[in-house]
Structure 1
Amino acid sequence: MTPEILARIATARAARDLSDLARQFVATTAQPASPADRIRRARELRELTNQLVDLTVLAESFGGASWEEITEALRRRDPGTVRQEFAADVAEWGGKSEAELEHGAAGYEALDEWYARHREDQDPQVSTPVADLRNRH
């Protein structure tokens, strides 16, 4: 297990949570709610989206992407600033022991089950997209 694989599993969890929350948001479209409640739910979606982006950056940095590539993908200007913004997370995740990495990945199989339940025809036809990470070297 590597920090990259754990970050990719965490990214998959964030994507699942975002998808579930977005579906719930659609389901409540016709329900009476205050403007504050609707805005709060939309902000939750934004916060989860930001978390998904941050976890993706972390995974890509561990996967070998340069800070120049990451900065360009984020549509930012200064790789040094972006690297500094993520420095604490990179250090934290990079310093995890094997036991901590394994513990953080626990339950990853549920993500494959979730994907199988929600997969539609236009989605990639893979059966274990997250478990396949565990087979990477």
Structure 2
Amino acid sequence: MTPEILARITAARAARDLSDLARQAVGTTAAPMSPAERIQAARYIRQMANELVNYVVLAEVLAGAEWADITQALNRRDPRTVEGEYADAVAAWRALQEEEMTVVAEGTQDLDDWYARHREDHDPAVENPVSDLRNRH
């Protein structure tokens, strides 16, 4: 297991959680809520979306992507600033030990099962979209 693979698994978890939260937001559309409650719920979805972007960026950095490309994809201007924002996270993930990564990576089959339950016809037709990562080296 590599830090990149672990970051991709973590991003998949974040995507699943974001999807579940967004679906719940649709389910509460007609529910009686205060304006503050609705806004706070929407802000939480945005926070989770930002977290997902951060995990995807982390995975791409750990895979060797150039900061200039990441900066452009983030619609930012200065690669040094973006690199500085992610430096601590990248260093922490690169320092993870194999045992730590293995424990954190558990549950990939659950993510595959979640995907199978929620997959629609227009989604990629893959059986093990997350656990297949564990076969990479």
TM-score bin (small chain): over 0.9
- Corresponding residue for 1:86? 86
- Corresponding residue for 2:114? 114
Structure 2 gaps, min length 5: none
1:56 maps to amino acid: V
Does the alignment pair 1:70 with 2:66?
Answer: no
Shift >4 Å, 4+ stretches: none
Q: Partners in 2 of 1:106 and 1:92 — Cα distance?
A: 19
CA deviation profile, 1:9-42 (whole Å, cap 9, x unmatched): 0000000000000000000001110000000100
Task: Spell out the pairing of 1:92-111 with structure 2 (5 A cutoff).
Answer: 92-111=92-111
State how many pairs are aligned: 137
SS at match of 2:9: helix
The alignment's C-alpha RMSD in Å is 0.5
The Cα of 1:97 is off from its aligned counterpart by 0.4
TM-score (norm 1): 0.99
2:35 maps to amino acid: P
Q: Partners in 2 of 1:108 and 1:96 — Cα distance?
A: 19
- Corresponding residue for 1:7? 7
The Cα of 1:129 is off from its aligned counterpart by 0.3
- Corresponding residue for 2:126? 126
Question: How much identity, in percent, do the aligned residues show?
Answer: 62
SS at match of 1:110: helix
